[in-house]
Chains A and B, each alone.
Chain A
Amino acid sequence: MSGFKERADAALADPILKIAVERTTGTAETKRMIAIDAFPDFEAARTRAAAIKDHVIAHLGAYLEQFEANAIAAGAKVHWAETADEACKIVIDICKAAGAGSVARSKSMLGEEIGLPHALAEAGIDRVETDLAEHIIQLADERPSHIIWPAMHKTREQVSALFKARHRSPHEEETIAAMAESARRELRTQMLGADVGISGANFLIADSGAVCTVTNEGNAELSLVPPRVHIVTAGIEKIVPSTPHAIHMLRMLARSATGAALTQYTTFYTGPKRAGDRDGPDAMHIVLVDNGRTKMREEGLAEMLRCIRCGACMNHCVVFRQIGGHAYGGTYPGPMGAVLTPALDALAPNRDLAHACTLNGKCQEVCPVRIPLPTLLKGWREKSWREGLEPASIRAGLGLWAWVAMRPRLYRLGTGIAVRALRLLGTKGWIAKLPLAGGWTRDRDMPKPAARTFMAQYQKERRP
């Protein structure tokens, strides 16, 4: 796969992507602002949300055990997976034991994270993505570009063309309603025929063993209730102590993500079908996945485990809004992805992610659980520096700058020479071409510096 810069350049060169991303993030930004303005004391609610998550992350083992006991008591089977591969193997084994030929999958970023779609394909199990956006990217054979709107990089026109080419009885018109109807026809039959339903979890509730999922299309309910087996895959950090805590987090999640008070569908699943229930799966399996989370907690990234996957950080990120989600190269894009990807994968191939950020702090300002994303990104930069992953040119340049700046007299001499040299490159106040920093002047000019530095003027004249 190409590197971050190549992917970013390709994204910048795609005018349709730019329109699609701006359309969705711009709307999300406006709607969130209206929803937050109408929320009584959102700042206090953020503080409480962060405290709830910090508390469970600090006592993760105890809450997970409580959850496990209650989930088992409700009739579910609980599995533990330390790695992505283990998690996939558990899911595949359950599918095989159930004799499943097809699975209906409700959107789950954890599923993407552990590579479940690929694992199911390798095992020869048919998979139907039931979330509309996931359905779109499944048809296009692409990966999600956003955690809330996986197909946000596509325009309505592109989706329409895709449906016309791939649906068995495609719509005639290009209206949203017609397209949704076409997807509904296509998906309903497949959902109802699936042997196994697989979902993620927005929250795992410790004191009841319930799993909470939210969707706006009701696809989770349709893909999890009719099949014989329901499998939940969930990151271990998804735990909350009780239902009231989950409700508080839900209020933060929906408003931060889309500006809605709540999602259209919020469902709590507690165990499989009970005696006397008309509907529901015969068996429920919950796979609790670590995949690096314990290590994150131990290595200074505990605050990142507060993340409730609302996507507000990416919706408000100037960099994400220019390059979209695919440029980030991992499952999770934007600021949260830039922190998570090196933890889930490795730092060396992902070092660009921590640097491709202006540290403007907007992501932290909008995060409903107050994750200090810029600080965590700077942590990766420090690690990258310590481990010698930074390019030699940058190390040498910063080292020279610091060496000179530690010697004020030499610094005055050096800055004096530097401004005189820079002035030679300019005409009429501007420099149109800079050596060594040609990227700056490719698309913008650099103002010409003053004839003499402030310090030189001040020391000589004490006044202008």
Chain B
Amino acid sequence: MTKNVALFVTCLVDMMRPRIGFAAIRALEAAGCAVVVPEGQTCCGQPALNSGDRDHAAALAKQTIAALEPYEAVVIPSGSCAGTIRCHYPEIFAHDSVWLPRAQAVAAKTWEVMAYLDQICGWKPQGVSVDARATYHDSCSGLRELGIKAQPRRLLRTIDGLTFAPLAGEETCCGFGGTFCVKYPAISNAIVGEKADAIDATGVDLLLAGDLGCLMNIAGKLHRKGSKVRAYHAIELIAGMGDGPAIGEEA
């Protein structure tokens, strides 16, 4: 089992909710990993890549590859950023004989954090309890690019006191879509409005997901419509940090 892992923090986690990064470190260490946060990391280049700006995407991908390649594994608290490195970096360098093997090597050892804890470490949280009812939103990139579905649920089910309600349309996009929500705010709002209504209809206390982008979008809509549902990145609960402030709550 790989123990020496690099944590790629993601720009959203870095700026908006650092406790997701610390939760990832805590869970990985509990699973027996030595965690390093490489200095050279910034943004994986996904905004540029998805906007068609291939030159900047390639430049950021090279920087990220260089920062991450010394480590045995790369772990990311986001299915979307992990999907970019795993699935799209090799595509970016498909015709670059120097960078393609480097991109492929980093892609092959890059994992979304919950998939890594479950599939590679075979670890489960122990002694963690949260007295709440929750529902889970499957973020699109993690679900469809990386096959993340059962892993977070397996980890979350070992938490004492946490019960689950199914979410209608749990695999339906929340309308975040990176820059989509800023470019087409009206369509994005209509989509997230349905997501928020579906979550409210479950009557749960907590919304959990694996990507901060989706969570900011959905939590922001829930808050605007006056919902009492609180939102966390699933890794926060898994790491035993579910007693802290939810997204949008002040410490």
Contact = CB atoms under 8 A, between A and B. Distances in A.
Contact of A398 (B47, B177, B184): B47
Contact of B13 (A385, A447, A454): A454
B54 A318 contact: no
B184 A5 contact: yes
Interface string B205-217: 0000000000011
B52 to A, nearest CB: 3
B56 A454 contact: no
Interface stretch (B108-116, B117-125, B158-166, B188-196): B188-196
Contact of B180 (A358, A380, A404): A358
Contacts of B13: 454
Interface stretch (A174-182, A266-274, A294-302, A435-443): A435-443
A358 B11 CA distance: 19
Contacts of A3: none
B202 interface: no
Interface stretch (A58-66, A210-218, A360-368): A360-368
B53 A398 contact: yes
A439 B216 CA distance: 15
A445 B248 contact: yes
B248 A447 contact: yes
A135 B182 CA distance: 39
Interface in A393-428: 394-395, 398-399, 401-402, 404-406, 408, 411, 415, 418-419, 428
Contact of A444 (B59, B141, B180, B224): B224
Interface string B140-172: 110111000000000000000000000000011
Interface string A447-464: 111101111011000011
Given A402-B48, A457-B18, A447 B219 contact: yes
A358 B140 contact: yes
Interface string A319-334: 1001100000000000
A359 interface: yes
Contact of A383 (B52, B145, B182, B183): B52
Nearest to A364: B144
A450 B12 CA distance: 11
Contacts of A358: 140, 173, 175-178, 180, 188, 191
A43 interface: no
A390 interface: yes
A134 to B, nearest CB: 28
Given A437-B182, A446-B216, A390 B52 contact: yes
B102 interface: no
A382 B91 CA distance: 13
A444 B184 contact: no
A442 B16 contact: no
Contacts of A159: none
Q: How large is the interface on A (under 10, 10 to 19, 20 to 34, 35 or more residues)?
A: 35 or more
B98 interface: no
- Interface residues of chain A: helix, strand, loop or mixed (majority): helix
Nearest to B225: A444
B129 interface: no
Given A355-B180, A359-B50, A454-B21, A398 B56 contact: yes
A378 to B, nearest CB: 7
A3 B39 CA distance: 45
A296 B43 CA distance: 34
B203 interface: no
B180 A361 contact: no
B60 interface: yes
A453 B15 contact: yes
A381 B15 contact: no
Given A383-B52, A408-B39, A447-B247, A415 B15 contact: yes
A74 interface: no
A436 to B, nearest CB: 9
Interface string B1-44: 00000000101011111110110000000000000010111110
Given A411-B42, A443-B189, 8 more contacts: A362-B144, A382-B52, A402-B48, A402-B60, A406-B59, A429-B248, A454-B9, A454-B14
21 contacts: A8-B184, A319-B187, A322-B190, A355-B183, A356-B180, A358-B176, A361-B140, A362-B173, A365-B144, A390-B52, A401-B43, A405-B42, A405-B43, A430-B248, A447-B247, A448-B250, A449-B16, A453-B14, A453-B15, A455-B9, A464-B18
